[in-house]
Chains A and B, each alone.
Chain A
Amino acid sequence: MSHTLRADSEFDAVEELHRLGCTDGLPVVVPTPSRVDRMVLAAGVDGDAALGTMGPLQGVCTVEKLAGAAVMAGCLPDHMPIVLAAARAVMEPEFDLTEMQATTFGTAPLIIVNGPARHLCGVAAGFGALGPGHRANASIGRALRLAMINIGGARPGSSDMTLLGHGGKFGQCMGEDEEHSPFTPLHASRGFDPEQSVVTVIGTEAPHSVAHQADADDPTSPTRLLDGLADSVCAHGTNNAWLGRGQAVVAITPEQTAELAAAGHDRQSIGEHIAARARTRDGRQSFASADDVLLVAAGGAGLYSFTFPTWCAGAHRNRAVSVVVDVGQACEVPWY
Chain B
Amino acid sequence: MRDGLNAANRGLPAVALVTEEFWPQGDFVASAFGMPGIPRVQLPHPVAGTGVENMRRVAEKVAAEVLAALEGSPR
Contact = CB atoms under 8 A, between A and B. Distances in A.
Interface of A: 213-217, 221, 255, 259, 300-303
Contacts, number: 25
A140 to B, nearest CB: 25
Contacts of A217: 51-52
Contacts of B51: 215-217
A214 B46 CA distance: 10
Interface of B: 21, 45-46, 48-52, 54
Contacts of B48: 213-214, 303
B17 to A, nearest CB: 16
A213 B49 contact: yes
A216 B46 CA distance: 11
Looking at chain A's contact residues, is the secondary structure mostly helix, strand, loop, or mixed? loop
B46 A255 contact: yes
Contacts of A213: 48-49
Closest 3 CB pairs of A and B: A216-B51, A214-B49, A301-B21
A259 B50 CA distance: 10
A212 to B, nearest CB: 9
17 contacts: A213-B48, A213-B49, A214-B46, A214-B49, A214-B50, A215-B51, A216-B49, A216-B50, A216-B51, A217-B51, A217-B52, A221-B49, A255-B45, A255-B49, A259-B49, A300-B21, A303-B48
Nearest to A258: B46
A301 B45 contact: yes
Contacts of B50: 214, 216
Most chain B beta-carbon neighbours within 10 Å: one of A214, A216, A301: A216
Contacts of B52: 217
A215 B50 CA distance: 6
